[in-house]
Amino acid sequence: MNDDSICLLERERIEQVSSQLTVNSSLLTPVGKLKKSIHKWRDIDTSMYILSVIEKGYGIPFKVMPDNVILRNNKSARDNGEFVIGEILKLTEKGCISEVNDIPFVVNPLTVAFSRSKKPRLVLDCRHINECIHQFRFKFEDGTVARELFEKGNFFV
């Protein structure tokens, strides 16, 4: 295990940064809004799969279990520690993530990506587990399919 893992950040450091943050805890995330309206989803006979995702969250469809590993945060996350801690605290307060007492089976590294305007964004780098995930096949439709669906004189809004 390395000292760069986010689960090993010193509590004092987290508390120091969190005291400088202002997060609106009444902010409902899309997940919170969906859960709050679960009864409406049930009323319209939503599939059990969708109800499960709303209530419990999305489960990654592993075809094989990944190896037990704790990966070091990427350099961009280590170089922007204040930002990383701040974002983790915001995500925790929103209920998007939660603190765990035990070390997870897989700890994926964090990355900080910057937009063209230099705005930072926290990213969970899950490349390590990609090969273990079932790949669903799907096809993107294009304009030729749309032409087959419409006849001359139809309107599309």
Residues in the chain: 157
- What's the DSSP call for residue 123? E
* Residue range 6-61, pLDDT digits in tens: 444 444 444 554 454 444 545 566 767 888 888 898 999 889 998 998 888 888 89
* Domains within the chain, CATH numbers bracketed: 6-149 (3.10.10)
> CA distances (Å), 105 to each of 69, 108, 122, 143, in order?
7, 10, 21, 44
Q: Looking at the predicted structure, is the pLDDT value of residue 74 above 50?
A: yes
Model pTM score = 0.63
